[in-house]
Chain A
Amino acid sequence: MDPVRDISLTVNGERVTARVEPRKSLVDFLRDDVGLTGSHVGCEHGVCGACTVRLDGAIVRGCLTLAVQADGAEVWTIEGVSDSGEIAALQEAFLKRNALQCGYCTPGMLLTAAALLQENPRPTRAEIREYLSGNYCRCTGYQAIVDAVVAAAEGATS
């Protein structure tokens, strides 16, 4: 196996080409090679959701996806969806409800919540809890997070 592979992808709408080790995870690639440090590494085995990014339209765990798997793909991170304004309403709801404490889980939480609202614009609290169950908030601010997602959904559809 080649020690390195060339990959070409778009990240937040910009073209990126890079030479990476096949073993490098997507989140390490985004953080270390592209300099996008908003995606966080929490557990490195797919449990905590802090590394959640969007790959070809679907949210994935950046720690369970290899950078080489993103070759040719379109990747969006928290920085990109913040700049585009796509999740602005959700972010406002989080800020208003203090649905973040230390902020480490927040990027992954927001991207997951955005994916939920795209699939299901008016989720129930139970549906929100179920959908976000793969994202840990160790400050344990879950109630505020669910409140914020509810508020964002109501704001968007009212």
Chain B
Amino acid sequence: MTDRSPLTLQDLPNSYIGRSVPRPNTRRLAEGRGSFTDDLVLNRMAHVAFLRSPYAHAGIKSIDASRAETSPGVIRVVAGEEMARHCTPWVGVLTHMKGLKSAPQYALAVGRVRWQGEPVVAVVAQTRAQAEDAVALIEVDYEPLEPVVDMETALDAATPVLHPELGDNLAFERVIDAGDVDAAFAEADAVAEEVLHFGRHTGVTLEPRVLVADYNAGAGKLTVYMSTQSPHMMKNIFARHTGIDEDDVRVVSRDVGGSFGIKIHTYPDDMATVALSVMLKRPIKFVADRLESFVSDIHARDHRVTAKIAVKDGRITAIEMDDLTGIGPYSVYPRTSAVECNQVLNLVGGPYDFANYRAVGRVVLQNKNIMCQYRAVGHPVAFGVTEALVDSAARAAGIDPAELRRNSVVPDDAYPYTAASGIKFEALSHQKSLAKILELMDYDGLRAEQAKLRRDGVYRGIGLAAMIEVTNPSPMFYGVGGAHISARDGVTIRLDPTGGVTCATGVTEQGQGTEAVIAQIAASAIGVPIEKVRVVTGDTETTPYGGGTWASRGAGIAGEAALQAGRALRGNILEVAGAMLQAEPDRLDIRSAAVVDVETGAERMTLADLGKTVYFRGNELPDGVSPELVATRHYSPRQFPFAFTNGIQACWLEVDPDTGFVRLLDFWVVEDCGTVINPQLVDEQIRGGVVQGIGAALYEHC
């Protein structure tokens, strides 16, 4: 392609890189004209409600649904055995997670319930209220069994085994032993030890999980409108377990009212809803109500970590850790529930340069709600552990906490750097970031103020947390283990005869601004005002195959594809323009939606005129010119398993020693973002992450 402009992409006229342009599609949301899945009404649409288990662990002796079946408005009542004939069970394992085991999970419980909230019976009725009325009339005779709730005793011989065929309650175990940990602790100047408990959290998306499954028996096609982050992945899963040809399944993700990793998993009630639509040959809607969400949306972060750290000559030299996590009764499909623990092991100690690391991670089954990936998978646990250890070590060694960090972070010139956990990091900047945050917060000033106030009986604390974020996963994360989760995403960009540009992409929008970022990059790469760009996401029928939006991959993967597709389309346009204008394409440029002379900037032809000629008056084109005003490019990370970023955060707070009440006084964030595409969106994502983190630290537990 032609790319000889003396200007860089960021300098070009119409460059939107680094600019806080408003997001497309937000005005309709602000006017109540969004299109969330629950807003959708289809002809003959019925509603499903679920009877959920009141027990954490029980046998199902019998189900009497006779009164429910005759309740007003009821269309069909379905329990586990019948559902299993229409929706095959799934097992949440990946082959590269060595030793990971789980049991078949059914859309509706068969024979035994294993968590309080597990769906047992589905009732389809004309309205949701009628379905709920009928649910209340179902009588289930349960035989309560001893529940396994304490992860500490889940592996004891005396503890019941959740799935007898698995032999025990251990789903996954990983051990790392790098360097000489015992020697490092023996030689240490100071050692500190911590036992840390992380409570269960969940995403609490304000829009609950919701889907409308619409099976058209005549066409043999299934369309599922769903609030999801990953339409193509869900298409595969629905096809795989209902027996419909995958090419006959379409998943449409309309506006999504928050996701945070919650809307990327296989939920039994979602699967039952899809199967019911196929069984009844009509559209079925399921919306989780708030109480259902709490007992059925995945939970996360239930870890008990025992860890110790060694310091020698003012530097961190070793970490030893035992991480135990309880994931509920099943490893969640298809991403598995071993990933969070695996990430904790990968990332503990990550910002620091030390060679001696021993870690044991054990993932156990228990009779609680399922647990799986939620925003920043494993990171809050890993860095919570690390920084608690570093602060304890600083106290034990009598070193200022900032000083110990300064002495111990991986030097900025050490990359590529392989951490003791074995994970290879590239281009991080812990030294620069630490120096910057200490300056921003006036660390020395705060320490002096803290000491002075302490003498007056005021307890103020300073927290520092360095972090690494693993984003934009390569195929080595899921695909290699057998999951049909695309690590690749594409963008198709076309120029219409109006001069308008439409981008279609497999990544999705849940409020973080994916569509804005794609539009910014495409507009900049082609050379058109952003107002001319439309972005289409969320429909497997009209977008390139892809993985969707999770792990911060929207900008990193689809953004790269948009850049390449935009450049390719620009090249195609200039080639046609060159033929029409009898000019060499590299003497032309595209600026403000017009083909211009590259030197003088003089307009030669608008893109609308070019488009009109190509589409309506192709006879005017010189012989042999075959214009292609559509370009598609894909991108998948390959060199590294992830794209890494790093940052550091600091907080300043006051604790009332009498009441324990914590008052947050100030908070600082330094994040090494690379090229910032939209500063406002970056700021809002960081602020949102911090505030959601404050919730996790101080308020939330489920």
Contact = CB atoms under 8 A, between A and B. Distances in A.
A59 B688 CA distance: 27
A34 interface: no
A21 B129 contact: yes
A110 B26 CA distance: 13
B255 A103 contact: yes
Interface stretch (A35-43, A66-74, A118-126, A149-157): A35-43
A101 B513 CA distance: 7
Interface stretch (B199-207, B241-249, B275-283): B199-207
Nearest to B39: A37
Given A100-B26, A104-B207, A42 B290 contact: yes
B687 A37 contact: no
B511 A139 contact: yes
Interface stretch (B29-37, B218-226, B343-351, B554-562): B29-37
A79 B26 contact: no
Contact of A95 (B26, B513, B688): B26
B72 to A, nearest CB: 9
Contacts of A50: 206
Contact of A106 (B20, B29, B689): B29
Interface string A94-113: 11101011111111001000
A103 B692 contact: no
A23 B132 CA distance: 13
Nearest to B25: A103
Contact of B36 (A45, A82, A104): A104
Q: How large is the interface on A (under 10, 10 to 19, 20 to 34, 35 or more residues)?
A: 35 or more
A48 interface: yes
A50 B32 CA distance: 11
Contacts of A43: 290
Interface in B161-211: 203-208
Interface in A17-58: 21, 23-24, 31, 36-45, 48, 50
Interface string A138-152: 111111100000000
A78 B32 contact: yes
The winner among B30, B36, B259 for most chain A CB atoms within 10 A is B30
B289 A107 contact: no
A103 B32 CA distance: 9
B680 A44 contact: no
B31 A82 contact: yes
A95 B30 contact: yes
Contacts of A96: 22
Contacts of B684: 98, 101, 141, 144
Nearest to B509: A102
Given A102-B258, A103-B257, A42 B206 contact: yes
Interface in B39-80: 39
B688 A48 contact: no
B81 to A, nearest CB: 32
Given A37-B39, A43-B290, A104 B257 contact: yes
Contact of B32 (A82, A139, A140, A142): A82
B651 to A, nearest CB: 15
B50 to A, nearest CB: 16
Nearest to A77: B32
Given A136-B206, A144-B684, A98 B23 contact: yes
Interface in B652-702: 680-681, 684, 687-692, 695
A102 B204 contact: no
Nearest to B293: A43
Interface in B242-272: 255-260
Contact of B205 (A36, A78, A138): A138
A23 B510 CA distance: 33
B302 interface: no
A24 B132 CA distance: 13
Interface string B6-25: 00000000000000101100
Contacts of B129: 21, 23-24
A110 to B, nearest CB: 7
A38 B32 contact: yes
Contacts of A48: 206
A144 B687 contact: yes
Nearest to A24: B129
A132 to B, nearest CB: 14
Interface of B: 20, 22-23, 26-27, 29-34, 36, 38-39, 129, 203-208, 255-260, 287, 289-290, 510-513, 680-681, 684, 687-692, 695
21 contacts: A40-B36, A40-B207, A41-B287, A50-B206, A77-B32, A79-B32, A95-B27, A98-B681, A98-B684, A101-B511, A101-B684, A102-B206, A103-B29, A103-B257, A104-B34, A105-B206, A106-B30, A138-B204, A138-B260, A140-B691, A140-B695
- The list of the 8 closest CB pairs from A to B, nearest first, reads A38-B32, A103-B29, A104-B257, A102-B511, A101-B511, A78-B32, A140-B691, A37-B39
